[in-house]
C-alpha cells in the first residue's frame, strides 16, 4: 500500500481501537469505506489486530483473518497468564524478589482479554541471583537463549508461544536522558505486594513514569507503534485522575523526558479520545507511521547517524561506535568483559562473530539501513 493508504489504515485502526476502550460501537458506514486488507496488515504491524477484530465484530463485521487474530491473541494472553503464575510462584519459593513489567500489568486495564496483545512477558528479578533464576526457568521447561548473561535481560522460550524476558535491570544507557541512572537502584522505589515476601510493584505514578521512560527509549532509538500510544491512553483513562501529577512532573525533569511525556500524552488523548490532532501530534504520528510496534532498523540507524553526521566519515564514526562501546554500555550488556578488563580488547571481535553467527538477519537489516542512509546523502 502507498504511504497515504497506510496512514488512512492506521487512523482506521486507531478509530476502531478507541471504540473498544471507550465502550462504543464503531460506525458501520465508516467501516464500509475501509480497505479491510490494508486494515488487517496495519493492525498486525502495530499488534492491534485482536482489538481491531473485536471492534469490527461489535459492528457486525467478521473476516477470517481478523477472527483468527483475535483467537490467537486471547489464547496467547491466557497462556502467558498461566505460565507467569507458575514462574512467579517458583521465584517466591526460591526467595528471589521479582516484579512483572509492562504488558503483564497493562493488559488488565483493558476491557477484555486479548485486547492488549503481548509478544513476550517481562519480569524484573534480583540481579544477584541470575543463575538461580535460570535454574528456576529451566526447571519449568524454559530454554535460555544463546546470549544468556549479556544485556539487561535474559530471554527464555517455551513452545509453542511463551517468551519470557527476565530483567537484571530496567534500562541500559540511553543517550540524551538520565533514565539508566535514575533506575539504577530501582528496588528502593518498589512496594511489596500484599501477602508476598518477594513480589513487588510500582506505585501508580511510578509505573506511569516507567512506562513513559520505556516508550522514550523505543521512540528515540528505533521508533514505536500505535500500541504504545494506546497503552498511554488506557492508563490515563483508568488512573489519570488519581495520579500525583506534581510528583510526576518533578521526576520527569530528573529523567530528562518531560517534553516527550507531554507530546506522548497529547497524542494519546487526542488520537484515542476523539479530539482533533495538533501540529505536534501530527509530527509524532508521522514518525510512528514509519515504526511499527517496536520500531525498525532504518529508524535506529537514521537516528544514530544524526549524532555522527552524514557522508563517509559519518558512516565510519557510526561503525566505530558500534564496534567500540563505552564502558557504561559494556557494564550493562557485557558484564563478563567489564569484570575482567583483560578481555576488553577481544570484545569487538566477539561481537562481530556473534552478529555473523547468531544475529545474521539483524546484521543484514542494519547494513541495509546504513547503505540506504548513505544513498540518501548522495
As a whole number of angstroms, the distance between CA 10 and CA 18 comes to 12
SS3 state at 33: coil
Taken as a whole, the chain contains a residue count of 378
What the block records as the C-alpha cell of 245 is: 501529577
Instruction: Output the domain CATH number for residue 151.
Output: 3.30.460.10
* One domain for residues 40 and 97: no
Q: Please indicate, yes or no, whether residues 26 and 87 belong to a single structural domain of this protein.
A: no
Are 91 and 162 in the same domain? Answer: yes
The whole-number mean pLDDT for each consecutive block of 10 residues of the chain, a chain of 378 residues, reads: 92 97 96 96 95 97 94 94 97 98 94 93 94 96 78 89 92 82 94 97 98 92 87 97 98 96 97 93 89 55 64 73 74 77 82 75 71 56
Identify the domain containing residue 105 by its residue range.
Answer: 74-169
Tell me, what's the pLDDT at 148? Answer: 66
Overall number of domains in the chain: 4
Domain co-membership, 254 together with 347: no
Residue 378: per-residue pLDDT: 41
Q: Residue 196 falls within a domain, yes or no?
A: no
- Asked if 252 and 212 count as a contact pair (C-beta separation under 8 A), the reply is yes
Q: CA–CA separation, 118 vs 292, rounded Å?
A: 14
Residue 9 lies in a domain: yes
Q: For residue 302, is it within any domain?
A: no
Q: What is the spatial distance between Cα 350 and Cα 317, in angstroms, rounded to a whole number?
A: 20
For residue 348, the model assigns a pLDDT of 81
Residue 253 contacts residue 176 (beta carbons within 8 Å): no
Q: 342 and 318 in contact (C-beta within 8 Å)? A: no
Q: How far apart are CA 138 and CA 135, in angstroms?
A: 5
- Same domain for 178 and 286, yes or no, is yes
Q: 254, 270, 295: which is the final residue of a domain?
A: 295
DSSP annotation string for 164-177: EEEES-S----TTS
Query: Which of 250, 272, 295 lies at the terminal end of a domain, its last residue?
Result: 295
Whether residues 258 and 227 share a domain: the answer is: yes
Question: How many C-beta neighbours within 10 Å does residue 227 have?
Answer: 25
Domain endpoint, select from 15, 32, 62: 62
Cell of 126: 534480583
- What ranges in the chain are assigned the alpha helix state H? 3-21, 28-32, 36-45, 49-58, 64-94, 103-106, 130-139, 179-182, 204-221, 226-239, 245-255, 258-272, 279-289, 297-308, 311-323, 327-333, 335-339, 347-357, 360-377
Dihedral pair phi/psi, residue 243, rounded to 5°: -75, 145
Query: Do 89 and 58 share a structural domain?
Result: no
Tell me the backbone φ, ψ of residue 37, rounded to 5 degrees: -65, -45
Q: Please indicate, yes or no, whether residues 255 and 220 belong to a single structural domain of this protein.
A: yes
Q: Is 10 exposed, middle or buried (0-12, 13-18, 19+ CB in 10 A)?
A: buried
Does one domain contain both 89 and 58? no
In this predicted structure, what is the pLDDT of residue 294? 44
Q: Is the same domain home to 115 and 146?
A: yes
- Residue 359: count of CB within 10 angstroms of its CB: 15
Does one domain contain both 129 and 153?
Answer: yes
84 and 33 fall within a common domain? no
Amino acid at each position: 500500500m502507498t504511504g497515504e493508504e497506510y496512514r488512512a489504515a492506521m487512523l482506521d485502526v486507531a478509530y476502531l481501537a478507541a471504540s473498544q476502550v471507550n465502550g462504543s460501537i464503531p460506525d458501520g458506514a465508516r467501516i464500509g469505506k475501509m480497505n479491510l486488507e490494508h486494515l488487517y496488515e496495519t493492525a498486525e504491524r502495530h499488534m492491534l489486530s485482536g482489538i481491531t477484530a473485536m471492534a469490527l465484530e461489535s459492528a457486525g463485521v467478521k473476516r477470517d483473518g481478523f477472527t483468527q487474530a483475535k483467537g490467537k491473541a486471547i489464547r496467547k494472553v491466557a497462556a502467558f497468564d498461566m505460565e507467569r503464575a507458575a514462574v512467579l510462584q517458583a521465584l517466591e519459593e526460591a526467595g528471589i524478589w521479582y516484579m512483572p513489567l509492562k504488558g503483564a500489568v497493562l493488559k488488565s486495564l483493558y476491557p477484555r482479554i486479548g485486547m492488549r496483545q503481548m509478544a513476550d512477558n517481562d519480569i524484573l528479578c534480583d540481579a544477584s541471583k541470575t543463575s538461580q533464576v535460570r535454574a528456576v526457568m529451566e526447571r519449568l521447561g524454559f530454554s535460555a537463549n544463546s546470549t544468556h548473561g549479556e544485556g539487561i535481560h535474559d530471554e527464555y522460550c517455551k513452545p509453542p508461544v511463551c517468551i519470557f524476558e527476565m530483567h537484571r535491570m530496567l534500562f541500559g544507557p540511553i543517550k540524551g536522558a538520565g533514565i539508566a541512572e535514575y533506575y539504577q537502584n530501582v528496588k528502593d522505589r518498589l512496594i511489596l505486594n500484599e501477602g508476598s515476601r518477594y513480589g513487588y510493584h510500582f506505585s501508580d505514578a511510578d509505573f506511569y513514569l516507567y512506562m513513559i521512560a520505556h516508550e522514550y527509549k523505543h521512540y528515540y532509538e528505533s521508533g514505536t507503534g500505535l500500541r504504545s500510544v494506546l497503552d498511554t491512553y488506557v492508563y490515563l483513562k483508568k488512573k489519570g485522575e488519581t495520579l500525583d501529577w506534581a510528583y510526576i512532573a518533578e521526576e520527569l525533569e530528573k529523567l530528562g523526558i518531560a517534553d516527550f511525556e507531554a507530546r506522548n500524552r497529547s497524542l494519546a488523548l487526542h488520537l484515542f479520545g476523539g479530539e482533533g490532532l495538533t501540529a505536534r501530534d501530527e509530527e509524532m504520528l508521522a514518525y510512528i507511521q514509519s515504526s511499527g510496534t517496536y520500531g525498525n532498523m532504518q529508524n535506529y540507524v537514521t537516528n544514530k547517524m544524526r549524532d555522527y553526521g552524514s557522508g563517509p566519515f559519518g558512516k565510519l564514526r557510526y561503525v566505530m561506535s558500534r564496534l567500540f562501546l563505552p564502558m557504561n554500555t559494556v557494564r550493562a550488556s557485557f558484564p563478563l568483559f567489564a569484570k575482567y578488563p583483560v578481555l576488553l580488547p577481544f570484545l569487538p571481535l566477539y561481537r562481530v562473530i556473534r552478529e555473523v553467527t547468531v544475529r545474521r538477519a539483524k546484521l543484514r537489516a542494519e547494513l541495509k539501513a546504513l547503505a540506504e542512509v548513505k544513498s540518501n546523502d548522495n
